[in-house]
Structure 1
Amino acid sequence: MGQAFDPPDGGDIESVELKAALEERYLAYALSTIMHRALPDARDGLKPVHRRILFAMRLLKLDPASAFKKCARIVGDVIGKYHPHGDTAAYDALVRMAQDFSQRYPLVDGQGNFGNIDGDNPAAQRYTEARMTEVARLLLEGLDDDSVDFRPNYDGQEEEPIVLPAAFPNLLANGSQGIAVGMATSIPPHNAAELCDAALYLISHPAATSEQLCKLCVQGPDFPTGGILIDGADAIAEAYRTGRGAFRVRARWAKEDLGRGTWNIVVTEIPYGVPKARLIEKLAELLQERKLPLLADIRDESAEDVRVVLEPRSRSVDPVILMESLFRLTELEARIPLNMNVLVGGLVPRVIGLAEALREWLDHRRVVLQRRSRHRLGQIERRLEILGGLLIVYLDLDEVIRIIREEDEPKSALMARFELTELQANAILDTRLRSLRKLEEMELKRELDALTKEKEGIEELLGSEPAQWKSITGQIRAVKKTFGPETKLGRRRTTLENPPDTAGIDFTAAMVEREPITVIVSNKGWVRALKGHVADLSTVTFKGDDGLKLGFPSETTAKVLVLASNGKVFTLDASKLPGGRGFGDPIRLMVDFDDGTEIVAALPYQPGAKLLIAGSDGRGFLAPADALVANTRKGKGIIGLDAPAQAILLVPGTGDHVAVCSADRLLLVFPVSELPELVRGKGVRLQRCRQSTLADAYVFNLAEGLPWRDSGGQSRLANAALLEKWMGHRAEAGTLMTRSFPKFERFGR
């Protein structure tokens, strides 16, 4: 047994409440994740890891025109000097910056295997090489001119920039995705030329709103993989105003004519962020599961460009319906979220709109301009001071040479003799003898004049806000020219289009292979679908003491309406009914039946048709079939009932007369025109059932006769002359069935 020890007494132990300690530590972790890992800075659009990669590449002199260096060298410098995390994380970030299908304007020019749009992994960092692109050079432009603040790195041995000068609108142009603690960011890429136009408009109209910028400049996201944006202008403007929303992007496709009436669909662009291999795998799975009846085959014929070939089931297939069905089921249509949650001022995480995001960038560019101008002004003043001392020397060269040759402390003597500063004296002492010619004096005077003029210009710039904005305007126009719509990189890739009008298309039917079936419902409420139209149902087996309640022919594309005894109508998709190999499934598993209710009728739904619905109390009405279709498991309450009455029948309402029969064999036939058409309600009295209940009803054409069946299952027909005896009006009691209806069982064939 080990011996328990009390903690030692002393001043090194401090009691801390666990809740307070956890809150403090978790808050520190959350702030670290938000500020130093997951959220981009609104000014340069970069997270720390990307900023450190670019800074390390700059120190390695990996400019766009220089030779490539191994990525392992870059990653080593990044994690060794600035980013004390795993090399995999740094290399993954570097790879993404080089992928032209991930970044709209890549910041890294990669050489080697950097992955592909299929989702394949890049080669190891020891095999790949990289250097910066022109966009990265613009982000770093002016870093040596004291344009931004630096801070010590993690071990205090080096310094790194807090933010980059960012002469390119990188936040919106390349976008950003990240998950922090309690917040996330998702900014899709945009077109740089449009962003430059919006920034220029914002300079000339400082009060411009995000809606105005959308209307005049920024059409919407511009994804590196292209695609078609199908959102409306109002939805896009609202997303940019609030900084939150989503964009629906579809693949770009075209119908390719193969001659003789045959054709294929060719997909040339897929939505942003969707790996092509995964997309095709999903399509193949759906095809194998027979969930894409309009599609026969799919082939990936991609090389450098995307080319996915979709082969239709037949030439009669409508290509629009085929593609719309694929958009609904696959990632050929994707939803790209917008959540412009960024670090404003490098410190505060906030969701901002389009106008504020551009304003943050423009304000940063003005600060950079001012700092670079002051830095240049300091350089000019230092040089002017030196020039002033040198020109003094040329007035009395002999005296200067004498002092240097004879004096023990020539610097002090020069400063005393010519009233020079220490800087000027050092510059004179450092001057080479070959510079003491007449021509050099003229050069110094020209340089003095030029620098004096430049100094006046910079002082004027620093003293005038309009002049500063004019200078920034010139810089932005230069960026727009470099990445304009006429350039290969700057041309807009994602177009805006309205989706085709599919309001009249029944996609449920289009998505199911059309086959004949026979729907079987048992007495205990079990349902199944036999293949084909089965005329003889006597051989159908049931579970235990269950038996056949009803059966009818239908198709896999149809809907089935089921009437429950409580007056509710439920809708089943015939394509989702269990097959006929087993005993089927209880309908209760498919819809939400109330306790104590049972199925009383079922029939296939026919659009535009009318149905007769009635209860045991003899009340009923005609209802449009379209109004009976329920989109949820709860069904629709159609006929109102007073206890103990129950709903008993739902039959087609096509015909000019109605035959009703009570349980005590009273028959009544009346014109269907006497029945009202309702969407729901208690209805009207079909037959007066005083001591009995309604047993059956049927709608038929009098000229064709009334079909009925006897107890032996024999089909019979009562013609108009025979029915004359039972003709009457709605709500009458009717007349007893005589020998004209021997062994009557029910109406219908």
Structure 2
Amino acid sequence: MGKTLIPPEPQDVQEVALREALEERYLAYALSTIMHRALPDARDGLKPVHRRILYGMRLLRLDPSSPFKKSAKIVGDVMGGFHPHGDQAIYDALVRLAQDFSSRYPLVDGQGNFGNIDGDNPAAMRYTESRLTDVARLLLEGLDEDAVEFRPSYDGSDKEPTVLPGGFPNLLANGAQGIAVGMATAIPPHNAAELCDAALHLIAKPATKTQGLLRYVKGPDFPTGGIVVDGQESIAEAYNTGRGAFRVRAKWHQEDGARGTWHIVVTEIPWLVQKSRLIERIAELLNEKKLHLVGDIRDESAEDIRIVIEPKSKNVDPEVLMETLFKQTDLESRIPLNLNVLVKGRVPKVLGLAECLREWLDHLRDVLVRRSNHRKNQIEHRLEVLGGYLIAYLNLDKVIKIIRTEDEPKPVLIRTFKLTDLQADSILNMRLRNLRKLEEMEIRGEDKNLRTELKGIKAVLASEEEQWKKVSEQVKKVRDLFGPKTPLGKRRTQFANAPEHDLATLEEAFVEREPITVVVSDKGWVRTLKGHVEDLSNLTFKTDDRLGISFFAETTSKLLLLGTHGRFYTLDAQKLPGGRGHGDPIRSFIDLEGDANIVSLFVNTGGRKFLIASHDGQGFVVNEDDCVGNTRKGKQVMNVTMPNEVAAIATVEGDTVAVIGENRKMLIFPLEQVPEMARGRGVRLQRYKDGGLSDVTTFTAKEGLTWRDSAGREFSASWKELSDWRGNRADAGRLPPKGFPKSNKFGKTIG
């Protein structure tokens, strides 16, 4: 028989509200992510992992002039001593610091395969080697001189810097990307020489706002080059607020071939875009027949980028071809700016450009004061020691006698020569070889030099103006090191305005031009058929529905729809459904009000004039271009109030108007009696006792009036034969000529 296990009595169990526990733990996690992982410090522009990598490499003495060491050794030391997280995470961070296509000013000099702009992975850390660059050396300079505070490492066995001395404007020069909890940062790289110029201006005129610094900092400077196509206003707004984005385009030029042919060569692509993925995307669009101007694409890159794009025809406009690629691919990229950083290493805050530079300059001054105090203490210590040495030389025999005869010489020396504890120790620790004749002169010389240096340091510490003078000298040295004439400092990203192109031309470039037939049913279901289909007798419609309107168009056509409530709508032919079905309701493409119906649908060709008329006989002439509305809500052109509605529309062709009412009375009058308007109710065209207007048309008097019956047969009447119906606008008219259709329609459609 098995024994029954009795659960132990719970001891010291505390009840905690779940909400409070979650809030406390999530807040701790959020703060940890913000402070120790995602956001860079405003002073040195580094996150903890990068700071620890650089510090770890410095401890390994990996200066720019020293031999390389295996990356695995660096990662191991950093992980063991300072950063107890995954080795792969540390190596990924180290790799990014070494990639000259990711970092504008690489902090790590890498040897071996550190990945490439195609997006290929770097070699494993056991194969690659690293050392620091001159930029990293500037960031670390002064660590041994108490430049910054140190804190215990995670296990308390060592110490690490809370921030680096940061003698380089790293935050803006190299940028940063990071996603924390509830906040993120996105800082693109900038040109170090420009930042230094702006910083020098800020030192000279501390009250300068961001706007005043934009004459120096034109915008981002990406390691991969490219062209920023934003206007000055949007760039200024981004730097003022610390939030915004930059539109960056690939750099390209046209190369001519034989017999008038040409191709486009892309030599620079936007930052952080993987070249192989970009080419794959363009190839996909080519296969899907979405790039109708592009014939082929190939990658001819070696050390430099060279992407060759062949046009489909030599008659294609290269500017328009590139605009289609910019719209559909990463050849144009939107790079965000979110200057969210840790101010003083503690408070997350979104800063403007001037505030960012001010944080860096204030840090440089703090570092200068700390280093100066450290040097001052060193000098004072050394001067005290030298003072003791001098006393020993002046009384050498007596000092030797005391040391030889006394059991405890130290207190006797202190008492005899009025020495300090430090001076007595220094004399006792002095080597015999130092007792040379020349030593006294050397001590006096060193003493004099140190006192001169100390005087200078005290002058700097006593004057804020002198401190800023020193900081200014430091910034000027950085500017000289990375000036616009140096290979690393030369600006890579250019600025330009995006060329303005006709939107219609661009949209047409996205669509292959093919003939189609547009079919609209009586109940408003629309579809397109491939080609120009004359015979529509085989078309099927939903129950109780039939053919309403049909006409020929092309996939690139824009269509105009007039509703009975006087609104015009614009439709893209390419967006209408094709295939064998019944199509889709036209109301799914536009906001056609529930009680409104379709008066007419036709291809918008532009430049024509229409005569539109309402049921109560009002009408006016309107220009076709005034009817185009680019939103789903359309554009109100004819003002009608229910139950009145728009009844007819006709293209203006000629000099005379013919109008017929539901009472079957027709009137003909000069077109000049009808005003041209962009919007309104219009004027009376025909007077009715009962019913309203049925149809309207225009014609040239000399050629006479033509109409079609329901079977499509054409009839006509000469100007002389029409004398009985000629009159003035707003007359009642009389019954139409013999043979006029019973439908009271002229049978004409808008072409």
The alignment's TM-score, normalised by the length of structure 2, stands at 0.95
Deviation at 1:539, TM superposition (A): 4.6
Aligned to 2:135, the other structure's residue is in SS state helix
Mapped contact 1:622–1:678 kept (Cα < 8 A):
yes
Deviation at 1:490, TM superposition (A): 0.3
| 1:307 lines up with 2:306 in the alignment | yes
Aligned to 1:321, the other structure's residue is in SS state helix
Q: 2: distance between equivalents of 1:97 and 1:652?
A: 68
Q: Deviations over 1:340-397 (max 9, x none)?
A: 1111111111111111111111111011111111111111111111111111111122
1:321-340 to structure 2, matched below 5 A, reads 321-340=320-339
1:250-649 to structure 2, matched below 5 A, reads 250-502=249-501, 506-544=505-543, 546-579=545-578, 581-649=580-648
Aligned to 1:311, the other structure's residue is in SS state strand
Aligned to 1:475, the other structure's residue is in SS state helix
Q: What residue is the counterpart of 1:203 in the other structure?
A: 203
Q: 1: distance between equivalents of 2:63 and 2:153?
A: 23
- Compared with structure 1, are the counterparts of its residues 559 and 488 closer, same or farther at alpha carbon in structure 2 (3 Å cutoff)? same
Mapped contact 1:698–1:747 kept (Cα < 8 A):
no
User: Could you tell me which amino acid in structure 2 is paired with residue 555 of structure 1?
Assistant: E
Aligned to 2:658, the other structure's residue is in SS state strand
Q: 1: distance between equivalents of 2:8 and 2:455?
A: 76
Q: What residue is the counterpart of 2:185 in the other structure?
A: 185
Q: 2: distance between equivalents of 1:110 and 1:702?
A: 87
Percent identity, aligned pairs only, is 61
Q: What residue is the counterpart of 2:141 in the other structure?
A: 141
Q: What residue is the counterpart of 2:117 in the other structure?
A: 117
Deviation at 1:705, TM superposition (A): 3.2
- Compared with structure 1, are the counterparts of its residues 433 and 165 closer, same or farther at alpha carbon in structure 2 (3 Å cutoff)? same
Mapped contact 1:707–1:748 kept (Cα < 8 A):
no
Deviation at 1:540, TM superposition (A): 4.2
User: Could you tell me which amino acid in structure 2 is paired with residue 615 of structure 1?
Assistant: S
- Greater Cα offset, 263-272 or 295-304: 295-304
Q: Deviations over 1:633-674 (max 9, x none)?
A: 232333333333333333323332222222333222222222
Q: 2: distance between equivalents of 1:142 and 1:641?
A: 81
- Greater Cα offset, 59-68 or 368-377: 59-68
Q: 1: distance between equivalents of 2:689 and 2:98?
A: 86
Q: 1: distance between equivalents of 2:612 and 2:276?
A: 53
Q: 1: distance between equivalents of 2:335 and 2:726?
A: 67
Q: 2: distance between equivalents of 1:249 and 1:614?
A: 51
| 1:665 lines up with 2:644 in the alignment | no
Q: Deviations over 1:419-460 (max 9, x none)?
A: 222222222222222221112222222111111111111111
Deviation at 1:34, TM superposition (A): 1.3
Q: 2: distance between equivalents of 1:75 and 1:707?
A: 90
Aligned to 1:736, the other structure's residue is in SS state coil
| 1:127 lines up with 2:127 in the alignment | yes
Aligned to 2:707, the other structure's residue is in SS state strand
Q: What residue is the counterpart of 1:71 in the other structure?
A: 71
| 1:152 lines up with 2:155 in the alignment | no
Deviation at 1:580, TM superposition (A): 5.0
Q: 1: distance between equivalents of 2:6 and 2:324?
A: 71
Aligned to 2:376, the other structure's residue is in SS state helix
- Greater Cα offset, 570-579 or 643-652: 643-652
Deviation at 1:3, TM superposition (A): 9.6
- Compared with structure 1, are the counterparts of its residues 136 and 619 closer, same or farther at alpha carbon in structure 2 (3 Å cutoff)? same
Deviation at 1:544, TM superposition (A): 4.9
Q: What residue is the counterpart of 2:699 in the other structure?
A: 700
User: Could you tell me which amino acid in structure 1 is paired with residue 44 of structure 2?
Assistant: D
Aligned to 1:405, the other structure's residue is in SS state helix
Mapped contact 1:343–1:349 kept (Cα < 8 A):
yes
Deviation at 1:632, TM superposition (A): 2.1
Mapped contact 1:266–1:307 kept (Cα < 8 A):
yes
Deviation at 1:503, TM superposition (A): 5.4
Q: 2: distance between equivalents of 1:557 and 1:94?
A: 51
- Compared with structure 1, are the counterparts of its residues 655 and 283 closer, same or farther at alpha carbon in structure 2 (3 Å cutoff)? farther
Q: What residue is the counterpart of 2:104 in the other structure?
A: 104
Deviation at 1:257, TM superposition (A): 1.3
- Greater Cα offset, 22-31 or 305-314: 22-31
Q: 1: distance between equivalents of 2:384 and 2:227?
A: 61
Q: What residue is the counterpart of 2:653 in the other structure?
A: 654
Mapped contact 2:521–2:546 kept (Cα < 8 A):
yes
Aligned to 2:110, the other structure's residue is in SS state strand
User: Could you tell me which amino acid in structure 2 is paired with residue 207 of structure 1?
Assistant: A
- Compared with structure 1, are the counterparts of its residues 572 and 171 closer, same or farther at alpha carbon in structure 2 (3 Å cutoff)? same
- Greater Cα offset, 699-708 or 540-549: 540-549
- Greater Cα offset, 400-409 or 99-108: 400-409
- Greater Cα offset, 310-319 or 13-22: 13-22
User: Could you tell me which amino acid in structure 1 is paired with residue 183 of structure 2?
Assistant: M
- Compared with structure 1, are the counterparts of its residues 742 and 131 closer, same or farther at alpha carbon in structure 2 (3 Å cutoff)? closer
Aligned to 1:561, the other structure's residue is in SS state strand
- Compared with structure 1, are the counterparts of its residues 568 and 69 closer, same or farther at alpha carbon in structure 2 (3 Å cutoff)? same
Q: Where do 5+ consecutive residues of structure 2 fail to align?
A: none
Q: 1: distance between equivalents of 2:717 and 2:581?
A: 39
Q: What residue is the counterpart of 1:247 in the other structure?
A: 246
Q: 1: distance between equivalents of 2:280 and 2:589?
A: 30
Mapped contact 1:601–1:648 kept (Cα < 8 A):
no
- Compared with structure 1, are the counterparts of its residues 704 and 86 closer, same or farther at alpha carbon in structure 2 (3 Å cutoff)? farther
Q: 2: distance between equivalents of 1:699 and 1:112?
A: 80
- Greater Cα offset, 220-229 or 296-305: 296-305
- Compared with structure 1, are the counterparts of its residues 376 and 694 closer, same or farther at alpha carbon in structure 2 (3 Å cutoff)? same
Q: 1: distance between equivalents of 2:124 and 2:723?
A: 93
- Greater Cα offset, 645-654 or 118-127: 645-654
- Greater Cα offset, 54-63 or 709-718: 709-718
Mapped contact 1:697–1:747 kept (Cα < 8 A):
no
Mapped contact 1:602–1:650 kept (Cα < 8 A):
no
Mapped contact 2:710–2:747 kept (Cα < 8 A):
no
Q: 2: distance between equivalents of 1:519 and 1:408?
A: 118
Q: 2: distance between equivalents of 1:638 and 1:505?
A: 23
Runs of 4+ off more than 6 Å: 2-7
Q: What residue is the counterpart of 1:30 in the other structure?
A: 30
Deviation at 1:510, TM superposition (A): 3.2
- Compared with structure 1, are the counterparts of its residues 249 and 586 closer, same or farther at alpha carbon in structure 2 (3 Å cutoff)? same
Deviation at 1:464, TM superposition (A): 1.7
- Compared with structure 1, are the counterparts of its residues 409 and 4 closer, same or farther at alpha carbon in structure 2 (3 Å cutoff)? closer
Q: 1: distance between equivalents of 2:9 and 2:569?
A: 71
Q: 2: distance between equivalents of 1:551 and 1:532?
A: 13
User: Could you tell me which amino acid in structure 1 is paired with residue 199 of structure 2?
Assistant: A
User: Could you tell me which amino acid in structure 2 is paired with residue 515 of structure 1?
Assistant: E
Q: 2: distance between equivalents of 1:616 and 1:314?
A: 51
